[in-house]
Structure 1
Amino acid sequence: MTWLQKSTIYVLLIFLATIYSVPLLVMLSGSLKSPTEIQANPNQLIPQSWQWENYVTAVRSMPFWQYLSNTLVLCLGSVVGTLLSCSMAAYAFAKLRWRGRDKLFAVLIGTMLLPWHVTMIPRFLLLREVGLYNTLGALIVPTFLGDAFSIFLLRQFFRTIPEDISEAARIDGLSEWGIYWRIILPMSVPALATVGLFQFVAAWNDFSGPLLFLSNKDKFPLAYGLEQFVSSYADQTHLLLAAATLFTLPIVILFFFAQKTFLKGIATTGLKD
């Protein structure tokens, strides 16, 4: 690749990154403005007077720390459930030989075509019958039952691990559980981190789940709590933007620190058919 081609690619990437960052910059800028300045200069990115107290007011105007605590419990529980269930299922599909494996995997992939709304009512009825309605468990427990996309992603990565390693471990007397736990998982950290990051972001942003399963305000996560905040402070744009910034900032920080592992997991997944 020539110098001119590299320069063109970099310029294009910077241009696209700038376009995608504009909404975030507008949100951040508006969160630091006074209500008067937002109305007078809505398109000016740099505030004339930096209103840091907007964040303090936003936090005090809702049970922010309770929402954050609920969200962290939900996200961490969902990540643990997804990694355990999906990695075990992916190992079975990638490394074990059993009758009907490929056909069942095709059925599993087919379930990705079903929208969440199709299973919404049966899932609600089932979780209500087992006593999980209005608890965070209603949102966490289903993640321990696997997710088609995460299983697919991990299966593709597991298949890139040479089978000779597993065969050598079996000859040495290691059980399938030992191979999975002591060999495959340690070698799959990038893929596991990618799946964990996907699930963390999905749980963090989930609005439909809490809307369906939760009715107690003390159990609301940030995504649903933010909607309640919007309903109460719809006319105070500066507080809404401050609350939205607080909601977005942890995800941005998480991706910033995990981007190398995340990109490595994406790049090395699916290299082997």
Structure 2
Amino acid sequence: MLFQNKTVFITGASRGIGKAIALKLAADGANIVVASKSVTEDPRLGGTIFSAAEEIEQAGGKALPIQLDIRDEAASQQAIAKAAEHFGGIDILINNASAINLLPTEKTEPKRYDLMHDINVRGTFFLCQSAIPFLKKSTNAHILNLSPPINMEAKWFAKHLSYTMSKYNMSMIAFGLSAELKQYRIAANTLWPKTTIATAAVNNLLGGEMLMNMSRTPQIVADAAWHILQQPSDKCTGNFFIDEEVLQSHGITDLSGYAHVPGNTNFYPDLFIDA
């Protein structure tokens, strides 16, 4: 089992893409730290750190649920330390937790701006900072941020400047760390879906049922992450990965099984991806 005894710290792992990655790695023997805010279930979102932990253990992994708001850097530091003590180290950090708001500049309230930047940028930065001392001790350490390639076309800034800034900053964190941490053989990469993914955010905030029907399941991102995280950390670093391209590079060309609606072939490109 490729990830036997490997400890993976995943933010936002109680549902969606984070949980899909957790279950994929758990099936390969990984220890999963479920770091999310949800301890009581919201019917619109589904899932808590406890329900996700139960599914992870049913999939074959070991789970440690930790309630965490990554805007609190002290809490992040404590969560990382607790996870390392519980499992004997940390091998992989996946920064999946994120906030989204697609309003134009004139309509972006300070609280919404702060939420995106406090979670997507500040939270990601200080969680990486807390994890680095433990990742240095791993034999194949990886940081993986769920953020896009930095596409500097003006259209990606024109409609939702604040969100774009925050997600590109997540990607810059990974790119910067790939150079800073190369001497320690710690990989830092990003991963982003080519099409929209059927998650609660898409259903509740972005496009509802129509967009859900044009989306793929979170499993495609999980499978791509599985391929990335088993690569040698001293060689596979500084990349802006796209899920579909990762799978194709490993000979997986039939992606029909990832359609949220079976048989659908009409998918909606995700943000920051040129159609």
Q: TM-score, normalized by length of structure 2?
A: 0.27
Larger radius of gyration: 1
Please state which structure has a larger fraction of its residues in helix: 1
Q: TM-score, normalized by length of structure 1?
A: 0.27
Q: Which has the higher contact order (CA 8 A, sep 6+)?
A: 1
Please state which structure has a larger fraction of its residues in strand: 2
